[in-house]
């Protein structure tokens, strides 16, 4: 299996991404989960990550708390999407497993250094503060990471927090800039693809029909999460942004995109956090990321439902 670190700010869609990874031990070995401030503040994201591990029956997973604010800006949160707890919808018990000792950033650095180069993949599902801080503190890890598969950005689809920026990149554009310039191979799951991974009514019914605690919780999470996108965008269901990352690790053939140059806007307040994607390759800036724009949605939901059934 591919060894991964999940860097996350749960979030209902983060939760589903984590569940999918933990349900797929043949393809994915989760070395640890590192939490960052994003959808809600750090105390809640690091609590929610443990709630999700316990829901999956995996209290043995190491969950670390990381950065509690972006590198150079005030924290922007998204309770309007995820609810006050960050994980509104299901009624899940408080975690009994403790946080792992140490800082998430140090765990990322130590783990990358302890493994042979090219064997550990980073999977950021929230603002990129922890990853950028690790790169600043220990530049040598850029050579060690196999790749980064992240959820963030949007190009043709526009933004979901400003007209041009997606939430994860907008919250910490400076961190995103560091990551996109790191030289580590990057696969990006922007809104262009995640807005095609929609939990329609039949797909939600399929989660519920699993008849398990996990199936019910995922149905309730996506029910809650859907409200926002339906009201705001008239979307046909909740977009499962972050699970695109873990699904890609299991079956990359479900996805397609282009290897292009992607730069992050860090100056203009108007377009702050925009992922400027050279989709048509009109510049000579070198390609630094595979920008995904399409997926086989039915294949994605079949995979997800089948894996969740295993928990
Ligand atoms: C991203 O922002 C968060 O609200 C979600 O968890 C996802 O990672 C989507 O823009
Ligand atoms: Ca997230």
Check whether 230 has a pLDDT greater than 90: no
Distance, CA of 212 to CA of 43 (rounded, Å): 28
Please state the rounded mean pLDDT for residues 210-225. 95
189, 241 contact by CB (below 8 A): yes
Check whether 106 has a pLDDT greater than 80: yes
* 283 C-alpha to ligand 2 centroid (Å): 31
Distance, CA of 78 to CA of 143 (rounded, Å): 34
Residue ranges near ligand 2 (ion) with Cβ within 5 Å: 9, 11, 14, 125-126, 242
* 265 C-alpha to ligand 2 centroid (Å): 20
Percent share of the chain, pLDDT over 90: 95
Pocket perturbation via mutation, ligand 1, pick of 241, 244, 246, 247 by most ligand atoms within 8 A of CB = 241
* 284 C-alpha to ligand 2 centroid (Å): 32
Ligand 1 contact, 188 CB (< 6 A):
no
Cα torsion 57, 38, 128, 18 to 10°: value is 20
Longest CA pairwise span in the chain (Å): 53
CA–CA–CA angle 127, 130, 136 (5° rounding): 120
**What residues are annotated to the active site?**
241
pLDDT at 282: 98
Check whether 213 has a pLDDT greater than 80: yes
Please, which residues have CB within 8 angstroms of residue 99's CB and are 6 or more apart in sequence? Answer: 46, 50, 63, 64, 65
pLDDT at 237: 86
DSSP state of 305: H
Distance, CA of 83 to CA of 85 (rounded, Å): 6
Check whether 226 has a pLDDT greater than 80: no
Please state the rounded mean pLDDT for residues 49-60. 98
Check whether 49 has a pLDDT greater than 90: yes
Please state the rounded mean pLDDT for residues 227-231. 70
Please, which residues have CB within 8 angstroms of residue 229's CB and are 6 or more apart in sequence? Answer: 235, 237, 238, 239
pLDDT at 236: 79
The sign of the torsion formed by the CA atoms of 155, 161, 162, 168 equals: negative
Band of the pLDDT at 54, cuts 50, 70, 90?
Answer: very high
Please state the rounded mean pLDDT for residues 194-212. 96
Q: How far apart are the first and last CA of the chain?
A: 18
Per-residue pLDDT of 133-164, as tens digits, reads 999 999 999 999 999 999 999 999 999 999 99
Ligand 1 contact, 242 CB (< 6 A):
yes
DSSP state of 103: B
pTM (two decimals): 0.98
Check whether 232 has a pLDDT greater than 80: no
Distance, CA of 134 to CA of 104 (rounded, Å): 9
Please, which residues have CB within 8 angstroms of residue 5's CB and are 6 or more apart in sequence? Answer: 30, 31, 32, 33, 34, 107, 108, 111, 120, 121, 122, 123
Closest CA to 123 of 30, 27, 15, 258: 30
Please state the rounded mean pLDDT for residues 235-261. 95
Averaged pLDDT of the chain: 96
Band of the pLDDT at 235, cuts 50, 70, 90?
Answer: confident
Ligand 1 contact, 11 CB (< 6 A):
yes
pLDDT at 161: 95
Ligand 1 atom index nearest CA of 154 = 10
CA–CA–CA angle 211, 196, 304 (5° rounding): 30
Check whether 196 has a pLDDT greater than 80: yes
pLDDT at 276: 98
Please state the rounded mean pLDDT for residues 246-263. 98
Query: How many residues belong to the chain?
Result: 311
Distance, CA of 155 to CA of 260 (rounded, Å): 12
Ligand 1 contact, 39 CB (< 6 A):
yes
Ligand 1 contact, 229 CB (< 6 A):
no
pLDDT at 122: 99
Per-residue pLDDT of 6-47, as tens digits, reads 999 999 999 999 999 999 999 999 999 999 999 999 999 999
DSSP state of 213: H
Beta strands in 18-129 (DSSP E): 28-35, 63-65, 120-124
């Amino acid at each position: 299996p591919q060894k991964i670190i999940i860097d996350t700010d749960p979030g209902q869609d983060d939760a589903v991404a984590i569940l999918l990874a933990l349900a797929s031990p043949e393809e994915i070995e989760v070395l640890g989960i590192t939490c960052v401030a994003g959808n809600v503040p750090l105390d809640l994201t690091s609590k929610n990550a443990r709630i999700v591990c316990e829901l999956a029956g995996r209290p043995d997973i190491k969950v670390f708390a990381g950065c509690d604010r972006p590198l150079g800006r005030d924290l922007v949160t998204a309770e309007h999407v995820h609810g006050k707890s960050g994980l509104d919808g299901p009624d899940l018990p408080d975690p009994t497993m403790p946080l792992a000792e140490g800082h998430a950033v140090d765990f990322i650095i130590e783990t990358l250094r302890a493994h042979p180069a090219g064997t550990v993949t980073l999977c950021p599902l929230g603002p990129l503060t922890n990853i950028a801080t690790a790169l600043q503190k220990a530049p040598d890890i850029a050579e060690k990471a196999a790749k980064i598969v992240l959820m963030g950005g949007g190009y043709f689809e526009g933004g979901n927090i400003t007209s041009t920026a997606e939430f994860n990149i907008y919250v910490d554009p400076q961190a995103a800039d560091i990551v996109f310039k790191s030289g580590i191979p990057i696969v990006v799951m922007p809104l262009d693809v995640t807005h095609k991974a929609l939990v329609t009514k039949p797909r939600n019914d399929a989660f519920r029909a699993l008849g398990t605690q996990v199936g019910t919780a995922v149905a309730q999470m996506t029910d809650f999460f859907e409200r926002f996108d339906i009201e705001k965008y008239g979307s046909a269901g909740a977009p499962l942004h972050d699970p695109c990352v873990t699904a890609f690790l299991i079956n990359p053939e479900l996805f397609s995109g282009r290897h292009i140059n992607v730069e992050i806007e860090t100056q203009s307040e108007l377009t702050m956090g925009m992922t400027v994607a050279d989709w048509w390759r009109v510049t000579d800036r070198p390609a630094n990321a595979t920008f995904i724009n399409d997926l086989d949605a039915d294949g994605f939901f079949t995979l997800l439902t089948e894996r969740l059934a295993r928990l």
